[in-house]
Structure 1
């Protein structure tokens, strides 16, 4: 059985003047994936980062809340985390086992941190992993721009995941 993981798509990642790369396209692609998953009755797991006081994703603040364009439904599962690894010290693995999930479709933020770490960890835990190549994003770094980071990770993560555009991802068994 498949599940969609929507990682760290929280208000703090979309701050005016400091939004993730191609934020609107990211949200559109995420909404498409979520709609397809809901139609197929595929479980959706929202991973929500809890950052320390003063950070954009500070627990309990407006920035910490899941972005309104991808708001969870009551049947969706929200997993809280404090590290880039969506499995580390969280209830994710227990929830996936409870729902008999074997295949994870991964999307969200931040490409080189939480997306990369969760793809690799899921692979190491024997999950089949698919990465939505156009449904994860990041920011420019000091040395390379966001587009280069995303392209690089789409290439490197092929060792750990099947990489598809969101339009080519299906949720049927």
Structure 2
């Protein structure tokens, strides 16, 4: 299998002081470790970046829209722009995966019950093998549930669509140089 680490919507606007994402520092630390492991084995790294309309927290082109400084892409990484919770809908994501021969997606990012969930289900429906990294996605408290409850719930429910493992159990397989 040819794999990619997919980091969804980890943008500066998700870490604002007035309403930071749940356990944001832990999330960034986990993503940094995953990025090191992915790059050491040569698997593709793909960032998904949400483009919100004017006046919204992730408004295209604003500082809040930028990918978080502590996990910035390097030149060989791909950055895919999207405008809906589904990373595949009206984007170049699937064609880029096809061009790279990728058939296994390791998913991480924000927001658990929206973009991570939707992309996971969509990838499964398109025939990709999906691994959801259980400690590498996050959200905010809702009116009814805490962020941790939402994360736990989705780690359980998404087992129908993905293998679900913590980052400590994720083993990226090295890619042969001619495949990069």
For the criterion TM > 0.5, the same-fold answer is: yes
Matches for 1:70-85 after TM superposition, within 5 Å: 70-85=71-86
Match of 2:171 in 1: 170
After superposition, where does 1:120-131 map in structure 2 within 5 Å? 120-131=121-132
Indicate the residue corresponding to 2:177 in structure 1.
none
Matched, 1:152 2:153: yes
- 1:1-173 maps to which residues of 2 (within 5 A)? 1-172=2-173
Matched residue SS, 1:69:
helix
Partners of 2:118 and 2:80 in 1: CA distance: 16
Moved over 2 A (4+): none
> What displacement does 1:17 show?
2.2
SS in 1 for 2:28: helix
Count of aligned residue pairs for this structure pair: 173
Q: Deviations over 1:29-62 (max 9, x none)?
A: 1111111000001000000000011111000000
Any stretches of 5+ residues in structure 2 without a counterpart? 175-180
For the residues of structure 1 that align with 2:52 and 2:172, how far apart are their CA atoms? 31
Q: Deviations over 1:73-125 (max 9, x none)?
A: 00000000000000000000000000000100000000000000000000000
| Aligned partner of residue 18 in structure 1, secondary structure | coil
Q: Distance in 2 between matches of 1:56 and 1:39?
A: 34
Other structure's SS at 2:148 match:
helix
* Structure 1 SS opposite 2:53: coil
CA distance in structure 1 between the aligned counterparts of 2:147 and 2:21, rounded to whole angstroms: 8
Q: CA RMSD in A?
A: 0.6
User: Which ranges of structure 1 fall in alignment gaps of 5 or more residues?
Assistant: none
Report SS of the residue matched to 1:19: coil
